[in-house]
């Protein structure tokens, strides 16, 4: 069998693949099998499921489909760990993932080792179409690394013992700066990923979009500003809310960001911590972001205004997850790395959008209904995963992600 170091030298994707696969295992190193099987609600998955499903992606789309003679670890796992790919057939119900006490966490680790070894052997000989799927698999696994953290946060938040997962927490990166408005003039701007280099299909094609005169805030909204919104009756003033949002607030009894415990403390991945008033507010829904912006006499930026403003910012300088832990913020900060930022844009296809070929064409395109775009990256986003053209998306009531906002206004 070829060694990993040999294959890293043989193919440039090898090192990125090994680092990504290793980080996933690092993330669960402190979890028990019981921890890893918790599913706090239907849209959040157990940590073990994230480990298994990200492995399934490589086994199904790369090894099974492109490596002659590959022997799957366990044929039943194709059913068990398919997420939503209709082209892959039937699957275990999403809301019942927490019932899968078997396979054990150790068995899933062994399955991952089986797949890693097979990928190592196959990588030097894979055709370009399969290498593109390996690269997609790396970015897919990075997305699940973030979901693993947001889902374990939701699970641990249910436990009165308030266990800590790790030291991660949104840092006061650039929110300590006074609010200022970056000018955006009327202009045609190029939006979307260039034709070469990795991007998800929904980031293409690159195309021209007209911006109208506007300003966009230099930083995100802070916890301190959110406390003012609460104190001013923000959650009980119907005129601030979209109709759907107001129904949601009243039905769910929403009165603060998801993990606030009173006005002074919040539950975080590091356990219960004092709320840092200078840090970006996090774990708010699109409905809340929209209501706050209206209260502040502003609005949310469109995804195009956001991308045009920060296209030249370097996401590698943000405060993002690395194998050594979150990368420290640079002085003054930037738009990437504390919280994902809600925009006022619905997740829709760009002009000329074409889904990726094959089963992975279900990755993004079929979700272009009822979802809003978030830009940037969060403290739980793996380093190097996000770009200015990245379009994260969630339904407007979702708030278990590291989601905040920055303001915009018409000029």
**Chain centroid offset of residue 404 CA:** 13
Least distance CB 353 / Fe ion (angstroms): 20
CB 407 within 8 A of CB 300: yes
CB of 143 to Fe ion, least distance (A): 7
Rounded to 10 degrees, the C-alpha dihedral 291/190/209/364 comes to: -60
Q: How far is the CB of 50 from Fe ion (least distance, A)?
A: 8
Based on CB atoms, which residue is closest to Fe ion, 148 or 308? Answer: 148
Residue number closest to Fe ion, CB atom: 83
- According to CB under 5 A, which residues from 59 to 88 bind Fe ion? 83
- To Fe ion, the closest distance from the beta carbon of 145 in angstroms equals 11
CB nearer to Fe ion: pick between 148 and 373: 148
- Contact between 163 and 32 under an 8 Å Cβ cutoff? The reply is no
Interface with Fe ion in residues 108-147 (CB under 5 A): none
Residue 127 to residue 147: CA distance in whole angstroms: 30
**Hey, which residues does 403 pair with through a beta bridge?**
340
Q: Could you tell me the smallest distance in angstroms from the CB atom of residue 115 to Fe ion?
A: 15
Site for Fe ion contains 45 (CB under 5 A): no
Per DSSP bridges, beta strands 403-404 and 340-346 are: parallel
Burial 165-196 (b: 16+ CB within 10 A, else e): bbebbbbbbbbeeeeeeeebeeeebebbbeee
Cβ proximity to Fe ion, 83 vs 268, nearer residue: 83
CB 411 within 8 A of CB 213: yes
Q: Which is nearer to Fe ion, 7 or 203 (CB)?
A: 203
**CB of 148 vs Fe ion, minimal distance in Å:** 11
The count of chain residues that interact with Fe ion, using the rule CB under 5 A, is 1
Indicate the residue among 57 and 229 with the shorter CB distance to Fe ion. Answer: 57
Closest to Fe ion by CB, 65 or 228: 65
CA–CA separation, 224 and 279 (whole Å): 8
41 vs 84, which CB is nearer to Fe ion? 84
For residue 167, give the 3-state DSSP assignment: coil
What are the two backbone dihedrals, phi and then psi, of residue 230, each rounded to the nearest 5 degrees? -65, -45
How many other CB atoms are there within 10 angstroms of residue 117's CB atom?
Answer: 13
Cβ(180)–Cβ(375) below 8 Å? no
Q: How would DSSP label each residue in 41-110?
A: STTS--HHHHHHHHHHHHIIIIIIHHSTT---S-TTHHHHT--S-GGG-----GGGGGG---S-HHHHHH
Minimum CB separation from Fe ion for residue 367, in Å? Answer: 12
Distance in Å, CB of 144 to Fe ion, minimum? 6
Q: Which is nearer to Fe ion, 49 or 226 (CB)?
A: 49
Closest distance of CB 139 from Fe ion, Å:
10
Dump strand ranges (E) for 145-269.
181-184, 187-191, 207-211, 214-217, 260-261, 265-268
Q: Looking at beta carbons only, is 144 or 319 nearer to Fe ion?
A: 144
Report the interface residues with Fe ion, using CB under 5 A: 83
């Amino acid at each position: 069998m070829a060694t990993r170091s040999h294959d890293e030298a043989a193919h440039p994707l090898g090192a990125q693949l090994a680092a990504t696969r290793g980080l996933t295992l690092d993330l669960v190193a402190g979890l028990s099998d019981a921890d890893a099987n918790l599913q706090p609600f239907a849209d959040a998955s157990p940590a073990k499921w994230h480990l298994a499903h990200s492995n399934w992606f490589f086994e199904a789309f790369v090894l099974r489909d492109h490596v002659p003679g590959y022997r799957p670890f366990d044929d039943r796992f194709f059913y068990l760990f398919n997420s939503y790919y209709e082209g892959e057939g039937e699957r275990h119900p999403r809301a019942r993932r927490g019932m899968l006490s078997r396979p054990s966490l150790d068995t899933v680790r062994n399955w991952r080792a089986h797949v890693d070894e097979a990928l190592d052997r196959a990588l030097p000989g894979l055709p370009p179409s399969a290498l593109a799927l390996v690269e997609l698999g790396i970015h897919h696994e990075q997305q699940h690394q973030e979901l693993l953290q947001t889902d374990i946060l939701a699970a641990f938040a249910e436990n009165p013992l308030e266990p800590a997962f790790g030291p991660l927490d949104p840092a006061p990166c650039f929110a300590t700066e006074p609010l200022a408005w970056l000018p955006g003039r009327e202009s045609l701007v190029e939006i979307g990923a260039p034709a070469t280099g990795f991007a998800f299909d929904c980031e293409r094609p690159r195309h021209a979009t007209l911006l109208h005169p506007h300003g966009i805030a230099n930083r995100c909204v802070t916890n301190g500003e959110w406390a003012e919104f609460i104190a001013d009756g923000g959650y009980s003033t119907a005129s601030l809310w979209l109709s759907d949002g107001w129904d949601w607030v009243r039905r769910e009894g929403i009165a603060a960001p998801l993990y606030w415990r009173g006005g002074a403390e919040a539950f975080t991945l590091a356990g219960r911590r004092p709320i840092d008033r200078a840090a970006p507010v996090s774990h708010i829904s699109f409905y809340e972001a929209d209501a706050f912006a209206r209260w502040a006499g502003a609005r949310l930026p469109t995804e195009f205004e956001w991308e045009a403003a920060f296209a030249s910012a370097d996401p590698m300088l943000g405060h993002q997850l690395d194998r050594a832990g979150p990368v420290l913020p640079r002085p003054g900060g930037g738009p990437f790395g504390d919280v994902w930022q809600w925009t006022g844009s619905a997740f829709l296809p760009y002009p000329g959008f074409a889904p990726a070929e094959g089963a992975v064409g279900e990755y993004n395109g079929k979700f272009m209904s009822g979802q809003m775009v978030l830009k940037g990256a969060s403290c739980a986003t793996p380093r190097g995963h996000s770009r200015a053209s990245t379009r994260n998306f969630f339904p407007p009531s979702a708030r278990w992600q590291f989601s905040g906002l920055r303001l915009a206004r018409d000029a």
